[in-house]
Structure 1
Amino acid sequence: MKPVITIIMATYNRAHFIVETLLSIQKQTFGEWECLIIDDGGTDNTHEVIAPILEKDTRFQFLKRPDTYLKGLPGSRNYGLDLAKGDFIIFFDDDDVVHPDNLKTGLAVVQNEKVAFCHYQKQAFEIEIPNFEFNEPKIKQALNQSHLYDIITHKIGLASCTVLWNKKCFETIRFKEELLYAEEWECYTRIISKGFEGLSIENVLYFNRKHPNSNTGEFFNNNPIRKKSNSEAILLVVVNLKEKQLLTDSILRYFIQIALDYKEYQLFSAIVETAQLSGFGKIKCQFFYTFLPVRLYLYSFKKKLFS
């Protein structure tokens, strides 16, 4: 039977974690899915350790990313998108654990509320998986273009594995394969800016494993590859929002503030150039950028003084 949902999972040398992830997928209370496991050129024994699962459950497929897609998460996910048979798409990582009602709950929200996607919450863990809670979906808020600022600033965290998408969201959109960090943030921003609307629910349906070898862990440890990719993703978002006339002053100021920590990439100058600002607009941004450290210092001082 044609699957309703396609799960896309890129994997790279995670033989020590991936079995637990696949078993949590097998326990889904909604069963009409396929799971495309895209190997990104790993060198460990991942295929060997998951072979028993592949033999018993044909809903899982283990595939090698072809060289026509760039190495990395974006290329592997794009390959999965091009193969997907389901009408709905979801991305899972190879080191996490999925709530048994994940697919059932997300699909019910998308179909019953007639929206393009459902965003749910995640919970981090290190060793012991938190207990699962089984609740009916509780709508938190709508998500659309008017929420772009909160999405871009991560106030609303559309993480890579916390959204069930209608496949139509990816008809003309793919991940930027040159990015090695923030690729989902950049891609999902394009989807929202295109006008697709969804709902966010309060339910925790995903459990992400914290460890230093994850992309996120490497980014917060100032890995230069991840940091450079984040600066490139910011510029791509600026280009997209500028084209769609959605680049607001508040979003621009947020990116300029980030640029303080990316001086080695000349991010501030690149943002100003990419945004195609007027002469007066450039002066305003330069003034904001120049005096921002002073403002941040005074804010920090005031906070300590009255705490």
Structure 2
Amino acid sequence: MPRVSIITPVLNAERFLQETLASVLAQTYADWELILIDDGSADASPDIAAAAASGDRRIRAVSMPANARHGAAAARNAGLALAKGEFVAFLDADDLYEPQKLETELALLEAHPEAAMVFGPTLWWRDGARPWRWVEPMQRQANRLYAPPVLVSKVILSLDWHVPCTCAVLIRRSAIAEVGGFEEQFSLYEDQTLWTKLFLRYPVFIHGQCLARYRQHEHSVSAAATRSGQYQQNGEHGARVAFLDWMARYLRAEPALQHALRLARAPYAAPSLQRSADLVYLRSKRVAHRLERTIRRWRG
């Protein structure tokens, strides 16, 4: 039985899939299985996946049934149903792992048996005519174990800390089974539905090593959602409203999180004195954060 199951949804990813596969094959920890879930590709992705599976017994290539619900959440859930590993990692078909990804994070989960999940910063990058690179700054939160529900507030609701990319996590499969997988009604924020469930119930360890790369390109789901107006990385947008509505239902029995939830929903709430006060608080908080970042840069 493999120790780690890596789940990769695949949809028309022929431009990137070989490089993604190579980043898994280059892992310094070798006891893994890679489950490639094709979600209806119309390009050469299924052939690339099949060739990889025929060349390495640790790789399985499967397809979503034509009549199944589609999307990354459903594909990942299908992969979870097939997974055999004690631990689960996710890797989208256009993203990459650094060679020490699995070895490093497995060691952290072994050192912290109470933790259900570990994650760290990710490199965001784009190639092409206007290349750029950016690593999520997590140094101030790193190398600590967080008890629930701290990360629900800090990461998911207030967005004070960076939300982990799907390629940046390693999770005990038993914990996912306990809380349920991804919420399949979401095409955006589906990853945060699982993170919320885990953050609410289990301790989570944050480390400071960049072990994964999140590729930016014009054909990604988030890029398409930005063009359509569904998503705006640094502003209010409709997709977050639907997610926060789900959060309100999911956190109904969590009184300690209601204040953070109200603040998160304030930009979308109906006009009221409470909303006005909340928006003033949020604006002052943003100003304080910008000032703090400026001071940290000035100090070097």
TM-score by length of 1: 0.79
Per the TM alignment, residue 100 of structure 1 is displaced from its structure 2 partner at its CA by: 0.3
Report the Cα distance in structure 2 between the residues aligned to 1:301 and 1:141, rounded to whole angstroms: 27
SS for the counterpart of 2:107 is helix
Which residue is 2:153 aligned to?
149
Alignment of 1:106-121 (within 5 A): 106-114=105-113, 115-121=115-121
Q: 1:34 aligns to what SS in structure 2?
A: strand
Note the C-alpha offset of 1:85: 0.4
Moved more, 61-70 or 206-215: 61-70
Contact 2:9 2:38 in 1 (8 A): yes
The code of the aligned residue for 1:240 comes to Y
Question: Could you tell me whether the CA contact under 8 Å between 1:87 and 1:167 is conserved in 2?
Answer: yes
Hey, what does 2:255 align to over in structure 1? 245
RMSD: 3.0
Equivalent position amino acid for 2:153 in 1: Y
Could you tell me which residue of structure 2 aligns to residue 123 of structure 1? Answer: 123
What number of residue pairs does the alignment pair up? 272
Distance in 2 (alpha carbons) for counterparts of 1:139 and 1:294: 30
Alignment partner of 2:210: what SS? strand
Residues 129 and 60 from structure 1, CA distance in 2 versus in 1: closer, same or farther, beyond 3 angstroms? farther
| Paired position in structure 2 for 1:46 | 45
Query: Would you say the 8 A contact 1:15–1:49 is kept in 2?
Result: yes
Q: Which runs of 4+ in 1 moved over 6 A?
A: 291-303
For residues 62-113 of structure 1, what are the alpha-carbon distances to aligned partners after superposition, in whole Å with 9 as ceiling and x for unaligned? 1111256411011101111111100101110100111000000111100122
Q: Would you say 1:197 and 2:203 are equivalent positions?
A: yes
2:180 is aligned to: 173
2:61 matched to which residue of 1? Answer: 62
Return the alpha-carbon distance in structure 2 between the equivalents of residues 61 and 5 of structure 1. Answer: 14
Letter matched to residue 118 of structure 1: V
1:262-287: CA deviations, max 9, x gaps?
A: xxxxxx26xxxxxxxxxxxxxxx821
Distance change (3 Å), C-alpha of 1:233 and 1:69: farther
> 1-side partners of 2:35 and 2:286: how far apart?
48
Q: Distance in 2 between matches of 1:80 and 1:160?
A: 14
> 2:207 is matched by which residue type in structure 1?
I
Amino acid at match of 2:21: L
Equivalent-residue separation in structure 2 for 1:26 and 1:210 (angstroms): 22
- Maintained 8 Å contact 1:238/1:247: no
Instruction: Give the secondary-structure state (helix, strand or coil) at the position aligned to 1:204.
Output: coil
Q: State how far apart, in whole Å, the 1-side matches of 2:65 and 2:41 are.
A: 13
Residue 5 of structure 2 aligns with which residue? Answer: 6
Distance 1:36 1:292, change over 3 A: same
For residues 207 and 284 of structure 2, what CA distance do their matches in structure 1 show?
A: 37
Unaligned runs of 5+ in 2: 134-140, 295-300
Would the aligned equivalents of 2:266 and 2:278 in 1 still touch at CA under 8 Å?
A: no
Of 182, 185, 189, which aligns to 2:192? Answer: 185
Question: Any idea what SS the aligned residue of 1:243 has?
Answer: coil
Contact 1:69 1:76 in 2 (8 A): no
Tell me the distance in 1 between the aligned counterparts of 2:249 and 2:195: 14
Secondary structure, in 3 states, of the residue corresponding to 2:6? Answer: strand
3-state SS, counterpart of residue 242 of structure 1? coil
Correspondence list, 1:97-108, <5 A: 97-108=96-107
Larger radius of gyration: 1
Unmatched 5+ residue regions in structure 1?
131-137, 260-267, 270-284
Is 2:224 the partner of 1:218?
yes
| Compared CA separation, residues 80 and 57, structure 1 to 2 (3 A) | same
Q: Could you tell me how far 1:23 is from its partner in structure 2?
A: 0.6
Q: Is the deviation greater in 58-67 or in 213-222? A: 213-222
Identity of aligned residues (%): 21
SS in structure 2 at match of 1:224: coil
Q: Which residue of 1 aligns with 2:241?
A: 231
In 2, are the aligned partners of 1:129 and 1:207 still within 8 Å (CA)?
Answer: no
Following the alignment from structure 1 to structure 2, what is the Cα–Cα distance between the partners of residues 170 and 120?
19
SS at structure 2 position matched to 1:161: helix
Q: Distance in 2 between matches of 1:301 and 1:107?
A: 38
